[in-house]
Chain A
């Protein structure tokens, strides 16, 4: 009888975020990345907590929720495999501004934010390339927010 295959290991280089990035950054960051698995209902981050990691979703589905006083919480976006959880970890003060909850079994790789920032600071070329990959995420979220404000399904 053969042993069961080892659980698959997630590699940063396989994530869509790093697709086409030259310079070997994902390979070097792999050492400071932690693999995590979340069950349905688990919180990945909570509003107000320190944004101490850059989270890359590989599988599953994560709901980004806004908590409003005296109102039910609202999901404003869901993220799936190939998407990243934002940029709060990059900007001071690094703080999550919303809740993120797994709505399907979810697997992530999470990079320690302090180490990631240090790597990007000390290797500006890598930092620039990294920002070129992060900026489209920011721009896309901004576009979607604008469209949401326009209320596409308005009557």
Chain B
């Protein structure tokens, strides 16, 4: 009969109306500034630079190779390479960025810079409360604002960070082993006695 559908619907909406008052479970809204959801591991907003240890200048992983600057689709990364060098995590001397700026008013959070960086130096942050009163100056983030410790990276993306740490640790161990082997070889070379005159004949 005409109208039964409307009555059914009215009953349903009335149930919602009353139910939402005595059963707060029905309300899905998270009232943001007071309540907030736990961040998701895969969430991402803008990039930041990772450093190891406590000193953000000494520990910065970025070697100013400028790959990310070239790859960034909207071209919002600005890097100036240093004149001198500093040791990286394996102890090898590398350049470092004298300045490293990201214009987050342009950045589109595509994560391409993260994908292309060969040094695990740039990662995606999750901060989103970035509104400021100055849309030019304050949205251009500089190196001191961008550099964040490895522990922070661990907090945001634990899986990713552990995997990166394992790989870097492995590389470092290999490099150290290699260095140790090289050192041992050099030492052995130094320590070894002059080859006896009959030895080459043995080889032949």
Partners in one complex: no
Residues of A within 8 A of B (CB): none
